Amino acid sequence: MAISRRGFFDAFGAATRGPALSGAALSARGLEDHFAAAWSQTPAMPGARQGQGRGQRPALPPGVEEIKINSNENPLGPGKVALDAILGKFPEASRYPFNSTPNEGALTETIAAKYKVKAENVVLAVGSQEILKNAVRAFVSPSRALVAGAPTFENCTGFSRKMKFPVTEIKVDSAFKLNVDDMIATVRGAGLVFFNNPNNPTATVHGIKVVTDFVERVRRISPDTVILIDEAYHDYVTDPSYESAVPLAMSTPNVFVARTFSKAYGMAGMRIGYAVGQADTVKPLARLRMPYGVSTFGVAAAIASLNDPQHIADERARNTEVRAFTVKALTDLGCKPTDSQANFIFVDIGRPAKEFRDACAKQGIMVGRDFPPFENSHCRISIGTMAEMQKATQVFRDVLRPVAPVANAGKSGGGF
C-alpha cells in the first residue's frame, strides 16, 4: 500500500506517542522486536560471535524470549525527548550534519557548555571507539608503546596489535582494579596509556585522588606520554570517591577524556562519542576525524538528551537498584562479583565463562564473552531491566545449581 510522506510521519509519530504505550522507550522496544525478527533471517557474517553477529542465535524453544545482557547497552534506549528529536529529523535526512538544524557545531557547543570549556576542547566522533582508534593512530608507533590494563576494553590494544605496535598489558590488581603502580612502572617512553575508569569488563573504579596521582606520576616519569581516560560508564558510578577526570584533563597537557552516548544515554545505535581535553592535546584527534561521521539524527538526539539531565539521573537510579538485585542474587548462589560501578557486573562463577554462557544461551539469556586472563572463572553480565534480571537470575540459579548447592549461599564463589 502506498503511503504519503506526510502520512508516514503522522503514523510514525502517533505510534511512538500513543496512549496505549507507556512512553517512547516502550515503543522503541516494540520496534526492536520487529527489527530482531528481520535480523534473524539475514545470513551469518563471517567471524561473527555468538549473540553479537547476525544469524548466530541459538534456536530457542517457542515462547522463550531472548534477553540480551551481553553488550552493556541501556535496555530502555534513549529518553523520550531524544526519541522525539530523532523522529523529528526524518525530513532532514537529506542534509549533511553541518547543514542540519541543529548542526554538529551546535552539538560541540552543547558539550563544551556542559563542561564549561571551549569548542576547541571537544572532538566529536562516530562512537567513542573512533576516538580510541584515532588515539592509537596519533600517539602509538613502532617505537612508542601502548600501556593498558588486562582485562580492559580491547579497542586500543586490538588496534595497536593490528598495526604491529608494541603493547604492554598490566593485569588488574587483586580487587580487579587497574593496577596503577605496575602501569606506572612500564610507562617510560610509551606513546599512550589507556585508562578505563570504570574498567570494562571488571566494573571497578578508581577515585579521583588515585587518578590524579596516577597522572602526576606518569607525567613526571614520561611527560610526552598521552593519557586517555575512558569514562564510557561515568553516569553509572555510585562510589563517592569517584569524579570525572575532565577538569584534570583541562588543566594537564597530554591528558584527555573519552565519553560516549552509547551507555546511560541509551544510544549505542546512534554512534556518538567525543573527547575532551586541552586544545593541543585533542587536535591530532580532530585531524583524524571521519568527515561528517556523526549523523543528523545523532546530533539532534544528543543535544536533546544533554538538555534532559533528569533522564540520566533516573537511569542511574534504575541501574543501581537492578544492579543491587543482581549482585545479591548471584552472591546468594555462592558467586563473587567485583564491586560494580557500571551497568554490568564481573562475577566469579567458579567455572569457564563459555560453559556458563552456552548453558544460559539455551534458555535465551545472552551473557558476555570471554575475558582473558579470567575466562576460566569469571563472566561479565550486563544489567537489563528488573524484569529481565528476574528472569535471568532464575536461569542462573538453574544453570549454577549442580555445582553451587544452597549450602554455599553467601560464601565465596572461589570454592566451586
- Residue 368 CA to residue 352 CA, distance in Å, equals 12
Interface with ligand PLP (CB under 6 A), residue total 13
Stretch that binds ligand PLP, among 45-53, 142-150, 176-184, 260-268 (CB under 6 A): 260-268
**Any idea how long the chain is?**
416
**Of 209-238, which residues contact ligand PLP (CB under 6 A)?**
230, 232
CB of 272 to ligand PLP, least distance (A): 7
Task: Please report whether residue 305 would count as binding ligand PLP according to CB under 6 A.
Answer: no
**Residue 181 has which C-alpha cell?**
603502580
CB of 247 to ligand PLP, least distance (A): 20
Task: Please report whether residue 127 would count as binding ligand PLP according to CB under 6 A.
Answer: yes
Q: What does the DSSP 8-state code read for residue 65? A: P
**Residue 212 has which C-alpha cell?**
590524579
Contacts of 241 (CB under 8 A, 6+ apart): 207, 208, 209
Among 72, 108, 134, 204, binds ligand PLP (CB under 6 A): 72
Contacts of 315 (CB under 8 A, 6+ apart): 74, 76, 79, 235, 264, 266
Task: Please report whether residue 268 would count as binding ligand PLP according to CB under 6 A.
Answer: yes
Which among 138, 18, 67, 132 is positioned nearest to 368, based on CA atoms?
67
One-character DSSP codes across 152-202: S--HHHHHHHHTT--EEEEE--TTSS--HHHHHHT-TT-SEEEEESSPTTT
Which among 331, 310, 315 is positioned nearest to 396, based on CA atoms?
331
Task: Please report whether residue 260 would count as binding ligand PLP according to CB under 6 A.
Answer: yes
For ligand PLP, give the closer residue by CB, 222 or 244. Answer: 244
Among 191, 273, 277, 350, binds ligand PLP (CB under 6 A): 273
Task: Please report whether residue 159 would count as binding ligand PLP according to CB under 6 A.
Answer: no
CB of 270 to ligand PLP, least distance (A): 9
- Residue 381 CA to residue 226 CA, distance in Å, equals 31
Among 262, 281, 295, 341, binds ligand PLP (CB under 6 A): 262
The identity of residue 354, as a single letter, is: K
Task: Please report whether residue 157 would count as binding ligand PLP according to CB under 6 A.
Answer: no
**Residue 392 has which C-alpha cell?**
535471568
One-character DSSP codes across 284-318: HHHHTPPTT-S-HHHHHHHHHHHT-HHHHHHHHHH
Contact 285, 273 (CB under 8 A): no
Cα 239 from chain centroid?
18
- Residue 174 CA to residue 396 CA, distance in Å, equals 25
* 148 beta partners: 169, 194
CB of 334 to ligand PLP, least distance (A): 28
Task: Please report whether residue 160 would count as binding ligand PLP according to CB under 6 A.
Answer: no
CB of 71 to ligand PLP, least distance (A): 7
* 379 beta partners: 347
For ligand PLP, give the closer residue by CB, 195 or 416. Answer: 195
The identity of residue 251, as a single letter, is: S
Among 200, 204, 319, 382, binds ligand PLP (CB under 6 A): 200
CB of 260 to ligand PLP, least distance (A): 3
- Residue 208 CA to residue 400 CA, distance in Å, equals 37
For ligand PLP, give the closer residue by CB, 52 or 390. Answer: 52
Task: Please report whether residue 203 would count as binding ligand PLP according to CB under 6 A.
Answer: no
Stretch that binds ligand PLP, among 125-133, 248-256, 331-339, 353-361 (CB under 6 A): 125-133
Which among 294, 297, 398, 383 is positioned nearest to 343, based on CA atoms?
383
For ligand PLP, give the closer residue by CB, 194 or 396. Answer: 194
Contact 222, 187 (CB under 8 A): yes
**Residue 168 has which C-alpha cell?**
604492554
Stretch that binds ligand PLP, among 107-115, 121-129, 307-315, 324-332 (CB under 6 A): 121-129
For ligand PLP, give the closer residue by CB, 140 or 400. Answer: 140
For ligand PLP, give the closer residue by CB, 214 or 236. Answer: 236
CB of 20 to ligand PLP, least distance (A): 32
CB of 195 to ligand PLP, least distance (A): 10
CB of 197 to ligand PLP, least distance (A): 9
For ligand PLP, give the closer residue by CB, 84 or 230. Answer: 230
Task: Please report whether residue 153 would count as binding ligand PLP according to CB under 6 A.
Answer: yes
Residues within the interface to ligand PLP (CB under 6 A)? 72, 127-129, 153, 196, 200, 230, 232, 260, 262, 268, 273
